[in-house]
Chains A and B, each alone.
Chain A
Amino acid sequence: METAGKTTEQSPSPAISALAMRYLVLAALIVIASLGFGFANENFFSLANIGILLRSISVLFIVSMAMTFVMLTGGIDLSVGSNVAFAGGVGVIALTATGSAPVGFLAAILAGMSIGLINGIFVGRMKLSAFMVTLATFALARGLALVIYDADSINVSNAIFLWLGGTSWGNVPVVIPFVVLVFAVLSVVLYRTTFGRDVYAAGANFKTAFVLGRRPERTLVWVYILSGALAGLSAIITVGRVSSGQPWAGLYLEFDAITAVILGGTSLFGGRGRLFGTILGVLLYGIIINGLVLTGTNPYLQSLIKGAILLSVVLLDSWTQRGKQR
């Protein structure tokens, strides 16, 4: 808490240059990683391949942007991956029951928001620790997904429902401009509205925000609902990509999102971070994990590498933070 307060008190220029430095390093690493995989696979730089890559990490983009909001408030949302499966299940079942894609969309997003609402009430109103509450909803949402799917996948053929995740304009999958749109909307919300200010305030100093009448408890509830809604949106994209609803969709997605957000420079303690950093973080992390999948790396080695990446980024951050404070 105090460290967050101290750094926000500093004059803006060194903070910005540190941030710019981080983005430059991330951009350089993205170039290096792409060059590496480019040498390994000569088709890597084809427009089609870049489209495929971006489409495969489109869900990670959206979930990570949601996670950025949550982590800016000093929280964490471990339930997003399970929520993607649950919201997808509700959406697909609503779709097959009514045959209407808008009803399916609405059902998926509302289902995602309801899990978010549970998180929000427990974390925001009851002030319980976010990792514990969202660990419970992580189990709950995955369980509900398994129940409503009866542990089996459901094929979807409705063209409108599949449009967002499944279609391309030439080499450009529809979902890519959509992710850009979501980024633009969320940027406006975070940087140009009082809600966005409240998100930063709740994470930087909850008590001060409370004293100033910014009602941080309510901000937290809405942040988790937003995270749930974006999980619902991700569920629609996920179903569109594979033309079916899967009970195990989004497995460990929360872990990937947390890593990408931390890579992008958002503080684990809340109050500091930007959506643009998250975009760079997702690009770098997405290229790496995609590369691991494409090169056929042993999945167990993949989880070892993922765990090591998260830990080393956190370690590096705390090390540079400490250097600055001295």
Chain B
Amino acid sequence: MTTVGKLLRERNIIFVTLACCLVFYLINPRLLSLDNLSAISRQIVPIGLIALGQFFVVVSGNIDLSMGMASVLFAIVLGVFFGMTGGVELGLLAVVASSLALGFFNGVMVAKLKLPAFIVTLSVLFMAQGLSGLIIPRGQQIFLMGGFFSYVGSETFLGIYLSFWFLVALFGLAYVVYNHTRIGTCIIAIGNSEENAKLAGINIDRVKIGIFMFSGLCSGFAGVMLSTRMGFVQPGLDGNGLLLDGIAAIIIGGTLILGGRGTIGGAFWGLLFIGLVNNALNLLNVEDVWHQVFKGLVILAALGANWILWQSREATAH
């Protein structure tokens, strides 16, 4: 009984996702067809990268609101370099360098200058949006075609898209780092109490800067994946939608937004849930205008559910 209760509490997202699958299957079996599942696996890659970067930021008790717009900016950086050189090597290098630099900037502002993360990353969001429109001629799109883009975008290995393999590998790496290294422990410690973490001898500034550099890098990767999926880049891409989806995924996955708690596995299930739902909304011809209502409601519901779960867990602990 208690084990079932514990399983339900701690792995609730798995049941919610599976229940959703069942409902979708009953509504329209095509939702769970192999073709569609593989399409979903490709659609969720940029969201997943943003969710993964955001996960560490949120567990450390911060937030990175710039991730969505930054990934649009990095997609455009890649596109501009591709337009100039006709190759991707220089562009990829530029994306990695600039995304790490952006993360470093955010991290220094938050860690060294002690500014609130939401305000720093909110202003960076606007600057990224501005830059993305300035480095590309007004009203233009850059089309991305050829080897690299079609390779990453549509090549498969064992029947599964390469981009999804990349995402899974990164989640696996993150899982090991989070659960089995000192870095993971440090991040959780900082999220629980910065003062205690400092007393325990953790260099919190360095860890925080590292976290933001990772979230920056994830935005860069998300930008690259976005460009390979779309086949073109333009400044009007919906970066904030990506940000919201990423945040929704990790909150649905049970990450405590006040920091200190969360699991990589939960975040991954949350991501699958968001991917399934986004896809179902499209396939079931739900009008576009409802999507955003739905996203807001899902985040609020997950926030409320997490709150109730942590509340009850704290009650049983006493």
Q: Which of B82-90, B93-101, B288-296 participates in binding chain A?
A: B288-296
Main secondary structure of the interface of A (DSSP, over half): helix
Residues of B with C-beta under 8 A to A255 = 122, 126
Is A307 within 8 A of B303, CB to CB? no
Interface contact A308-B127, CB-CB below 8 Å? yes
Q: Mark A270-311, 1 if CB is under 8 A from B, else 0.
A: 000000000000000000000000000011111111111011
Given contacts A128-B307, A135-B299, A143-B290, A304 and B122 within 8 Å (CB-CB): no
Tell me which of B108-116, B199-207, B219-227 binds A.
B108-116
- The answer to whether B119 and A314 touch across the interface, beta carbons within 8 angstroms, is yes
Report chain A residues within 8 Å CB of B133.
298-301, 303
Q: Is the CB of A143 within 8 A of B292?
A: yes
> Are B247 and A135 in touch, CB under 8 angstroms?
yes
A133 contact set on B, CB distance < 8 A: 300, 303
Query: What number of A residues sit within 8 Å (CB to CB) of B?
Result: 44
Contact, CB under 8 Å: A151 / B123: no
Chain B contact surface mostly: helix
Say yes or no for A129: interface residue by CB 8 A criterion. Answer: yes
Q: Does A318 contact B (CB under 8 A)?
A: yes
The chain B residue sitting closest to A121, CB to CB, is B304
A307 B127 Cβ-Cβ under 8 A: yes
A144 within 8 A of B: yes
Q: Are A303 and B130 in contact (CB under 8 A)?
A: yes
The verdict on A126 contacting chain B, using a C-beta distance below 8 Å, is yes
Distance of B177 from chain A, by nearest CB (Å): 24
Tell yes or no: A106 within 8 A of B by CB.
no
| Closest residue of B by beta carbon distance from A304 | B130
**Chain A residue contacts of B303, Cβ below 8 A:** 122, 126, 128, 132-133, 136
* A26 CB–B CB distance under 8 Å: no
Least CB distance from A178 to B in Å reads 30
A258 and B119 form a contact (CB under 8 A) = yes
* Nearest-CB residue, chain B, relative to A259: B123
Is the CB of B131 closer than 8 A to any CB of chain A? yes
Q: Determine if B122 and A258 form an interchain contact, defined as CB atoms under 8 angstroms apart.
A: yes
Q: Contact between B291 and A302 (Cβ–Cβ < 8 Å)?
A: no
CB of A66 within 8 A of chain B? Answer: no
Q: Encode A124-155 as 1/0 by CB contact (under 8 A) with B.
A: 00101101110111111111101100110000
Contact B257 A129, beta carbon cutoff 8 Å: yes
B297 within 8 A of A: yes
Q: Within 8 Å CB of B292, what residues of A?
A: 139-140, 142-143, 146
A300 to B131, alpha carbons, bound, how many Å?
Answer: 7
Q: In the bound complex, how far is the Cα of B107 from the Cα of A164, in angstroms? A: 45
Q: Tell me whether B130 and A128 are in contact (CB under 8 A).
A: no
A307 and B123 contact, Cβ closer than 8 Å, known pairs A139-B244, A300-B235: yes
CA distance A139 to B244 in the complex (A): 8
**B125 contacts A307, CB within 8 Å?**
yes
A109 at the interface (CB under 8 A from B): no
Would A307 and B118 count as touching, CB distance under 8 A? no
Is B132 in the interface zone, CB < 8 Å from A?
yes
In the assembled complex, the Cα of A300 lies from the Cα of B132 at a distance in Å of: 8
Nearest CB of chain A from residue B284's CB, rounded to whole Å: 16
Q: Is B215 an interface residue (CB 8 A)?
A: no
The residues in A between 203 and 260 inclusive whose CB is less than 8 angstroms from any CB of B are 255, 258
A76 on the interface (CB 8 Å rule)?
yes
Chain B positions within 8 Å of A308 at CB level? 123, 127
Q: Is A147 a contact partner of B290 (Cβ separation < 8 A)?
A: yes
Known: A298-B134, A304-B130. A139 touches B299 (CB 8 A): yes
Kindly list chain A residues whose C-beta atoms are within 8 Å of the C-beta of B293.
139-140, 143-144, 146-147
A86 to chain B, nearest CB (A): 10
- Chain B proximity of A271: nearest CB distance (Å): 14
Complex partner residue of B299 from A136, A304, A306, CB under 8 angstroms? A136
With A146-B289, A147-B293 known as contacts, the answer to whether A118 contacts B126 (CB < 8 A) is no
Q: Mark B117-160, 1 if CB is under 8 A from A, else 0.
A: 01110111111111111100010000000000000000000000
A315 at the interface (CB under 8 A from B): yes
Which residues from A are CB-within-8-Å of B120? 311, 314
The reply on A59 being an interface residue by CB < 8 A is: no
A310 & B130 in contact (Cβ 8 Å cutoff): no
Query: Which 9 pairs from chain A and chain B are nearest by CB?
Result: A140-B296, A300-B133, A304-B130, A143-B292, A307-B126, A143-B293, A307-B127, A136-B299, A139-B296
12 sampled A-B residue pairs with Cβ under 8 A? A129-B63, A131-B118, A132-B247, A135-B65, A139-B244, A142-B292, A143-B295, A146-B293, A310-B126, A311-B120, A311-B127, A318-B115
